Amino acid sequence: MRKQIAAANWKMNLTYQKAEVLLKEFLSQPQNLSDNKLVVLAVPSPYLTMAVDKIAGEKHMYIAAQNVYSKKSGAYTGEVSVEMLQSIGVTYAIVGHSECREYFNEDNALLADKVKICLEHNIVPIFCCGEALPVREANGQNEYVTGQLQDSLFDLSEDQIKKVVIAYEPIWAIGTGKTASSLQAQEMHAHIRSQLTTKYGADVADSITILYGGSVKGANAKDIFGQPDVDGGLVGGASLNAEEFKQIVQGLK
């Protein structure tokens, strides 16, 4: 049974004190997570140690970095390595978020390196893919996302790819209030799974968790997550409200 994941991406928000309050509010609410349902909280780097400490003892709950560098160590001022994350108990990392692709010029080759170094150090990469509005309007989304998968993931072995979480994020629906319909989300998730099937076979493809990211809210989470190939969400703004994010977690199937 595929893991169902509600992943929160706090992005560059909250002071340390406000982050503590938000975590306390969320953790005070019983989540009743079954073995196939996980919560992953991607918090800003300065708060990672605090967050790891706060969730200690919580079942099915993990902390993620919002990014990671492609090298193990070295003279890369300001970057965070997989070894650093591993040493403080972080077990997930977002790789290739559309904002990092756009603002920091992260390309598919660099992201391939990031995915591999995460896997080498037992960090689960949440690999983001997705198209901008002009690509969608030209009906080129399937080919575009296929290219991202091929360039960044398809050099992985079967054992490696099974450890990757994929997050499809239509860029036109991030922070805009627009949301892909549940049918649009399902169509792309099914396409991604079909590409995985072609490359690795049906058994491997069926085992991989694929998340939807793009203006997920408590009100639409259950409908979107209820689609057969959608295994949860990578949630931005709505994860900054404890009650709203709890509703999203409850939408997991």
CB contact set of 78 (below 8 Å; sequence gap of 6+): none
| Active-site pick, 97, 131, 189, 191 | 97
Place of tokens 């003279």: 75
Q: Both tokens of residue 250?
A: 């409850």
- The Cα 163–Cα 126 span in angstroms is 10
Q: What Å distances lie between residue 10 and 17, 55, 78, 135, CA to CA?
A: 14, 16, 19, 27
**Residue 169 known to be catalytic:** yes
- The Cα 106–Cα 102 span in angstroms is 7
- The Cα 230–Cα 252 span in angstroms is 10
Backbone angles phi, psi at 244, to 5 degrees: -65, -45
Backbone angles phi, psi at 81, to 5 degrees: -95, 165
- The Cα 194–Cα 136 span in angstroms is 19
| Active-site pick, 99, 169, 189, 191 | 169
56: nearest Cα among 94, 31, 90: 90
Q: Specify which residues 128 forms β-bridges with.
A: 167
The answer to whether the CB of 169 falls within 8 A of the CB of 234 is yes
User: How far is CA 97 from its chain centroid?
Assistant: 8
Phi-psi region of 10 (alpha: psi -120 to 50; beta: other; left: phi over 0): alpha
- Which positions are catalytic? 97, 169
